[in-house]
Amino acid sequence: MEVVSSEVSIRTGAENMPAHLARPASGGPYPALVVVMEAFGLNDQIKRITNQFASEGFVAISPNLYFRQPNNVVGYNDLPGAFRLMGSVNDDQIVADMGAAIDHLKAMKEAVKPAFGTTGFCMGGRVAFMTACRNPAVRATVPFYGGGIVKSRQAGVKPPIEYVDGLKATVLAFFGGKDAFIPITEVDEFRDALKKAGKPAEVVFYPDADHGFMCDDRPSFHPVHSKEAWARTIAFFKEYLG
């Protein structure tokens, strides 16, 4: 499917947030979703994934959640830089910025309304799930290896799972057994918490996958699992947002 993409500006509070927007070149309306960047920022790889969603028949937008910071994209080999950027944002601000991205989709004639999706990778997986818990417009969410969902990584910050009662979305989550950032115990706790709360969810666990297995720019890329997870993600969003 032919795609058109552009850099757009989204009003969030009194500020303007840059974002990458992609959609099918014609037809519609199409189901719409927000693609959330990794801890490394809104880089070319995330923009490519956003374009890939458009090629599958979605309106997809990826906001730059670090836009308030200078030098807000770092390389995959710069973990200190990624941690610095992650530490520059707070959850309430992220939820507001994600809400602004969803509002931008709501205003688009090419987007199906009122149900929207969220997906993200690494930090973006946590943000995608947290947004689903705190924004009722989100009806389907696919977090990929989101750390800190059930156990906070920062003092005084609630993990997203504590907002699970507000979750209106169906969940499809992916984790890897070789992921040093997310213990298997936390994956189990996540699955159990969703079940206890009575939320519809499927948690997919690949024992031989590492953190970042969806990213073909990282050494941890797993071509087999990434292909399968992508196909499942597309089918899932078409089912719940179509």
Q: Which residues make beta-bridge pairs with 13? A: none
Give whole-number Cα distances, 150 to 123, 164, 195, 241, in Å: 13, 10, 14, 26
| Whole-number Å distance between alpha carbons of 90 and 95 | 9
Sign of the C-alpha dihedral computed for residues 69, 73, 78 and 83 taken in this order: positive
H helix intervals, the chain: 44-55, 79-86, 91-106, 123-134, 184-196, 223-241
The per-residue pLDDT for 221 is 96
The reported pLDDT for the residue numbered 155 is 82
Task: Give me the average pLDDT of each 10-residue run along the chain (242 residues).
Answer: 97 98 96 98 98 98 97 96 95 98 97 96 98 98 97 90 98 97 97 98 98 95 98 98 88
Beta bridge partners of 21: 6, 61
d(CA 55, CA 48): 10
What amino acid positions are annotated as catalytic residues? 122, 179, 211
- The answer to whether the beta carbons of residues 62 and 35 sit under 8 Å apart is yes
Q: Which domains does the chain have, with CATH numbers?
A: 3-241 (3.40.50.1820)
Residue 129 half-sphere exposure toward CB, CA atoms < 13 A: 31
Spatial separation of the C-alpha atoms in residues 49 and 108, rounded to whole Å: 20
Whole-angstrom Cα distance, residue 72 to residue 107? 27
pTM of the model: 0.97
Distance in Å from the first CA to the final CA of the chain:
17
